């Protein structure tokens, strides 16, 4: 496999992963970003820990999706991450239920 073929494959995988993310993001309550990964989750617990003067973070998530194009299964029941960098957790807005504009209920 040439370098060009590998780059094309990785670009296609990244686009596929983005489309999957776009389709499922509404099913989750939180976006979690660590130094190595990006997650969607419905429950998140972040605890700062101190071991011998070193501060690290323990992040526990449940009902999660992992942004990783090399994982065969991105949906996981629970995740535990240890990181020495900051953790960013954002709560996602839940849009109000909307009906399609066309069809039996639409205008």
Which residues of the chain are under the pLDDT cut of 50? none
Answer whether 89's CB lies under 8 Å from 32's CB.
yes
Sheet holding 54-67, edge to edge: 75-83, 54-67, 38-51, 30-33, 88-91
User: What angle is formed at CA 78 by the lines to CA 42 and CA 25, rounded to 5 degrees?
Assistant: 35
Number of domains in the chain: 1
Question: What pLDDT score was predicted for residue 81?
Answer: 95
Does a structural domain hold residue 60?
Answer: yes
Does a structural domain hold residue 50?
Answer: yes
Does a structural domain hold residue 99?
Answer: no
Question: What pLDDT score was predicted for residue 95?
Answer: 67
- Give the structural domain span for 74: 3-91
**pTM score, two decimals?**
0.77
Does a structural domain hold residue 86?
Answer: yes
Question: What pLDDT score was predicted for residue 90?
Answer: 96
Does a structural domain hold residue 102?
Answer: no
Does a structural domain hold residue 35?
Answer: yes
């Amino acid at each position: 496999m040439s370098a060009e073929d590998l780059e094309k494959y990785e670009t296609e995988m990244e686009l596929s992963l983005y489309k999957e993310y776009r389709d499922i993001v509404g099913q989750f309550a939180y976006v979690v970003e660590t130094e190595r990964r990006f997650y969607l989750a419905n429950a998140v617990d972040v605890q700062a820990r101190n071991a011998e003067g070193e501060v690290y973070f323990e992040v526990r998530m449940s009902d999660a999706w992992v942004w990783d194009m090399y994982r065969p299964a991105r949906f996981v029941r629970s995740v535990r991450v240890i990181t020495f960098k900051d953790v960013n957790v954002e709560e996602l807005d839940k849009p109000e239920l909307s009906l399609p504009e066309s069809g039996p209920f639409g205008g």
